[in-house]
Structure 1
């Protein structure tokens, strides 16, 4: 089967955006330049939970029922899940944190920063287990092998470095990273990955291809590329089973290869060619890959294994599987869907009114689902109210121009039902107790 792409969703304000999954694969977690962390049941989730952690959030990672977030105070802050209560600070840097990574077999966090340092830390905090400080530029990424014997870092000084964790010494340097002086100007973040089951290989992006190195000898085993790849690859990730390898380019292309044969199972083009900032495989091993881009959008690819897989069995019946068509066919497809009375996904003005304004009859199976409705929509932005099954209510404010103000998330303690928004004021109204 071909790789299928779901439509992009607004996740965060424009800027660097990160994504990961919970370990059970039930939730997608994103963070972004607006300082929010958002928890999604699925990419189609209109009632995702949103939590503000500061002015910006550059990295997010999930491990053992805890969330780890890189906040604008240069710290790696731990939160409980799903309560999202603060649960201690793992480590601090003197500049922005650029990545937090771990895996199911690793009882540690790899953290990197603009201050030319990389650390391996215990999830509980305390002194770092290993500090890599021989970098001569901002550290962009880190990877840890499953045996916790080796780590690898990429740096804005142009070098990829491999480290022996036991001896705490560097064992190899590879020139493959475009030189930059700040993480925020980096188009290629050179995200590497060790093969997840035994760490037999290290995969890293090298211009328009992904290079696979043998474990310990660090000799080149093979390379992965495709004639359709037209610019530099920025990052790569092994699938949970280790049999597939995904990579993204700075023009938004995402390619997947079968590791043993080197066969490319498919390449997806980003609809607006934005740089993909983060990719994450669903831990269920169902061939689903989530990704975010520099415009703050969230996307997902299905059937990445290129054949019938668990993705088909795990996908809900009401999920629309979309294969991106040529721009010239969009209008024809739209008209065809509109004229199909039997299509559950047909475009309907009545359906849109029901979904956005809460009009019409609610179906029995939807009675227990969270409710989302618009309180205001004008030329400044959008104000929406989200009410959960337990009665808790929050208000999201999204500005069309993110330079005007970052998004706002408020607890709706007073049960506000109306809103008005201008460039300088947000007004909320509720019933009085008289």
Structure 2
């Protein structure tokens, strides 16, 4: 074993977020998963690229492994088993209605325990998924779960700070002890840990306390006995015993990893590594792996320095929870001998019996023999025990090190799917939909949910409330009805779609339908004509309002979200990956009724690295988006294929209210209607609205254009002139945009007389703004005449009235040269119109 300790490099494994890891029991492989869909398989001792599996779902929170397979639990509530050799999905073991938070596997590899946001913990037989044991005593969701080394006990760490110890020795699990105060109260997404970490001999376990101490509990009476004193300056995020139990490693939010000696509770060494959220000891060699919230994996070879390696090389050491040591010959202590102390690296089946039974005698002989061989250092230990023996031969070979290359790689960053207008859980409630029609929210009642729908116009529609056994997690609301979907109903049922109209002339107007097994809902949309459902297999399913399947097709790019208005459907997905590693967002718009594609896989214009926060149609039917930069954009010319472009309507970072010292606020988008941006103001670093229901605010559009023309004089009114110029320029760009949008609308529909009159009125308004801009230029001086003449040329009026108005403005400010040029321009325009009329005749 090399005596040189080098600081490891961080290996970019996943996108930032929760990153989990595990070893295979034989120590050959390290498997990591994270917030993206990729799964990495590293070979211990190989510094090359890991094997990557891209078949997984996204947002992995739990992971465990055997020598032949590994099992991963995800935010979508699924627990999949993968074949280690092929990397293929082997079997769906469990489907939960709520996100899976942690996994644990029994020592014999036969049972997998699943902790999730559900109240019930499932313990599933790996070979027969129909063989399930249920742990039902919890009153809140579970954050962590762990088996004791014997596989007899399970510790469940709940989010309310209560620890449950179950015995699963019999077919019906038995609650052994409920311990309040052993762990801290945490939210499921908190990086701090409340995990129970069992000592390898099974006689004690460790937990992290809110006081940043590590408490030790005895399994004889489940009571606290000792503690590792608080030294960390931040919440403890991970902890783990060495394979022989003689050392303990702890990581915390203060950017430190501490190495403790178990027998003395003294700190042996401190390491500086930031954002560590998971760590794990190698089962047989001096190596510690840990992951960070940045998505990186560290493989720390020779983690325990030379002076402390004799402690790591001891045989299994029982932890002394009281003044006297626990008997080393106890059943738990003797049965849980690490594989590195056994010939061949495999655990020999043991018989129960007295401490001096034949198995124990043979075991002690094997341990002593191996211990001597390891100290001998003659090099033949590896021939005897293969991978089971502690060896660093593959690390010490200089020629082997020369052959290894430090490789770097990037992982494509993709956008997560989301439901427009919804918020995540906070406490036991969340908003499913929030728009100008009303609000839909749900409350978790443990055994079921309750859904409330409230309308802003209570005279037109009556509020309603119902019990929700399906646990709907997405909703849409408009003037016609309410749409609900449940991605993963209880009892592993199929995804459910439910539509409820506000008014009906029949006895029953609402309806339900189900998706095929294994297909879940990513996003939904509701228009005046259709219901749109985006699913996990990238299907776009379109139904009529009363449940008739109208169209089904597969989206070209992985689905993110959708929106609908009248006969139009807009879908958004992850597109090609750019040079920066970010997947570009693409959108498609189709007219469902006419079966016409308006835009096909065009690019959504958001800045590199930013996120899409909302997608919706304006009240006039134009697609809009709002991004994490706080910019609201609208899609111009979207009805003409290949002509669409995104135009910024408002940059909330440039709002006047922020320049007045209100810097700690952001805006949660709701709608674009009545020529206003409707939103909810979030203060104090909040990212989503919460209860009680917040008030809606509205802001005028303000397209970000150049706001300060160059100074030309120092007159007292120069500042006023510059402000007027900026205001008129922005108004001209904005009104021209809305004129264009309205023109596109009436050109593709049967325009009414009022609509045609409205278009003419908008044209006149643009000309009025141009006249005001001409007046500003005339006020600036004669040297601004060229720009004033340019503005005259932009007038749309064909009757000549606006040209005459421009002449009068020039006369008012005594701009005689400009006046002559405007008259000449008017005459040329009139002559051109006459020639055009002659050609038409």
TM-score computed with the length of structure 2 as normaliser = 0.37
Is structure 2 residue 174 aligned with structure 1 residue 172? no
Verify the 8 A CA contact 1:2 1:266 in the aligned structure 2. no
Q: Distance in 1 between matches of 2:578 and 2:121?
A: 46
- Residues 254 and 119 (structure 1), Cα distance of their counterparts in 2 relative to 1, 3 Å cut: farther
Is structure 2 residue 584 aligned with structure 1 residue 424? yes
- State the shift of 1:4 in Å: 5.4
Structure with the higher helix share, 1 or 2: 2
**Superposed, which structure 2 residues align to 1:353-392 within 5 Å?**
none
The residue aligned with 2:412 is 398
Q: What do you get for the CA RMSD once the two structures are aligned?
A: 3.3
What residue ranges of structure 2 are gaps of 5+ in the alignment?
314-389, 418-576, 587-841
Verify the 8 A CA contact 1:105 1:146 in the aligned structure 2. no
The residue aligned with 2:288 is 289
Q: Distance in 2 between matches of 1:290 and 1:7?
A: 11
- State the shift of 1:44 in Å: 6.8
Verify the 8 A CA contact 1:18 1:58 in the aligned structure 2. yes
Q: Distance in 2 between matches of 1:264 and 1:128?
A: 45
Verify the 8 A CA contact 2:107 2:151 in the aligned structure 1. no
SS at match of 1:398: coil
SS at match of 1:61: strand
Verify the 8 A CA contact 1:140 1:190 in the aligned structure 2. yes
Q: Distance in 2 between matches of 1:304 and 1:221?
A: 28
The residue aligned with 1:387 is none
**Cα deviation digits, residues 398-430 of structure 1 (max 9, x gap):** 34xx6599xxxxxxxxxxxxx96476389xxxx
- Residues 106 and 48 (structure 1), Cα distance of their counterparts in 2 relative to 1, 3 Å cut: closer
Verify the 8 A CA contact 1:78 1:90 in the aligned structure 2. yes
SS at match of 2:279: strand
Q: Distance in 1 between matches of 2:263 and 2:31?
A: 31
The residue aligned with 2:136 is 133
Is structure 2 residue 274 aligned with structure 1 residue 195? no
Q: Distance in 2 between matches of 1:251 and 1:302?
A: 23
The residue aligned with 2:51 is 49
Verify the 8 A CA contact 1:102 1:144 in the aligned structure 2. yes
The residue aligned with 1:26 is 28
Higher RCO by CA contacts (8 Å cutoff, separation 6 or greater):
1
Q: Distance in 2 between matches of 1:87 and 1:180?
A: 33
The residue aligned with 1:211 is 215
SS at match of 2:94: strand
Query: Which of 89, 96, 99 is the equivalent residue of 1:96?
Result: 99
Q: Distance in 2 between matches of 1:129 and 1:267?
A: 43
Q: Distance in 2 between matches of 1:196 and 1:68?
A: 22
Verify the 8 A CA contact 1:288 1:303 in the aligned structure 2. yes
TM-score computed with the length of structure 1 as normaliser = 0.69
Q: Return the index of the structure with the highest Cα Rg.
A: 2
Verify the 8 A CA contact 1:3 1:266 in the aligned structure 2. no
**Cα deviation digits, residues 244-273 of structure 1 (max 9, x gap):** 222221334222222223232222121xx3
Is structure 2 residue 300 aligned with structure 1 residue 301? yes
Q: Distance in 2 between matches of 1:46 and 1:64?
A: 21
Q: Distance in 2 between matches of 1:251 and 1:318?
A: 36
- Residues 318 and 250 (structure 1), Cα distance of their counterparts in 2 relative to 1, 3 Å cut: farther
SS at match of 2:392: helix
**Superposed, which structure 2 residues align to 1:69-88 within 5 Å?**
69-88=72-91
- Residues 163 and 39 (structure 1), Cα distance of their counterparts in 2 relative to 1, 3 Å cut: same
- Residues 3 and 250 (structure 1), Cα distance of their counterparts in 2 relative to 1, 3 Å cut: farther
Q: Distance in 1 between matches of 2:262 and 2:238?
A: 16
- State the shift of 1:189 in Å: 2.6
Count of residue pairs brought into register by the alignment: 337
Q: Distance in 1 between matches of 2:295 and 2:229?
A: 27
Q: Distance in 1 between matches of 2:133 and 2:416?
A: 41
SS at match of 1:424: strand
Q: Distance in 2 between matches of 1:403 and 1:224?
A: 42
- State the shift of 1:135 in Å: 2.2
Q: Distance in 2 between matches of 1:121 and 1:128?
A: 6
**Superposed, which structure 2 residues align to 1:264-275 within 5 Å?**
264-270=267-273, 273-274=274-275
What residue ranges of structure 1 are gaps of 5+ in the alignment?
320-343, 346-362, 374-383, 385-395, 406-418, 427-434
Q: Distance in 1 between matches of 2:6 and 2:112?
A: 32
SS at match of 1:316: helix
